[in-house]
Structure 1
Amino acid sequence: MSYKNIRSIREDNDITQQQMAELLSISQNTYSQYETGKIEWPVSTLIKIADYFDVSVDYLLDRTKNKRRNE
């Protein structure tokens, strides 16, 4: 499954796949496979991305249109 909100938020912030991969300490190839849905995102990686962009994991997973995290 591909999570369009992850790609969208990355592109909206002018961040490359390579930059995201470095932030997550993974290869660009692995990041690309996550983003295209070839391999599943680990929960810990989704949390890191949500924290970095200050959005909810539910938003990244396209379970809500609300970007805000519940605090």
Structure 2
Amino acid sequence: MKLRIKDMREDRDLSQEAVAQALHIPRATYCNYETGRRNIPNDVLCSLADFYNVSLDYLLGRSDDCTPFRK
């Protein structure tokens, strides 16, 4: 999962600071998620999925299909 969120951020030319601001968390916290030093809470996972418009299964590495869940 940590590689997925880093790859998605880099593919979109975003900084850790920009993603952290969008998620309303400190940059250091987001950095710890990317490096795997901290587990990502469910609410932040959902926010990341919404931010990148991908499915949670994709974020978690359970699927290579990034199509988000249709509400």
TM over 0.5: yes
CA deviation after TM superposition for structure 1 residue 69, in Å: 1.7
Match of 1:37 in 2: 36
Unmatched tracts of structure 2, length 5 or more: none
- Structure 2 counterpart SS, 1:38: coil
Within 2, Cα distance between the matches of 1:29 and 1:50? 20
The reply on whether 1:48 has 2:50 as its aligned counterpart is: no
Q: How many residue pairs align between the two structures?
A: 70
- Structure 2 counterpart SS, 1:67: coil
CA deviation after TM superposition for structure 1 residue 24, in Å: 1.0
Normalising by structure 1, we get a TM-score of 0.90
Match of 1:21 in 2: 20
Q: Which runs of 4+ in 1 moved over 3 A?
A: none
Deviations 1:11-70 (A, max 9, x none): 111111000111111111111001111010011111111111110011111111000023
Larger RCO, structure (CA 8 Å, separation 6 or more): 1
RMSD: 1.1
- Structure 1 counterpart SS, 2:13: coil
The reply on whether 1:68 has 2:67 as its aligned counterpart is: yes
- Structure 1 counterpart SS, 2:25: coil
Within 2, Cα distance between the matches of 1:70 and 1:5? 18
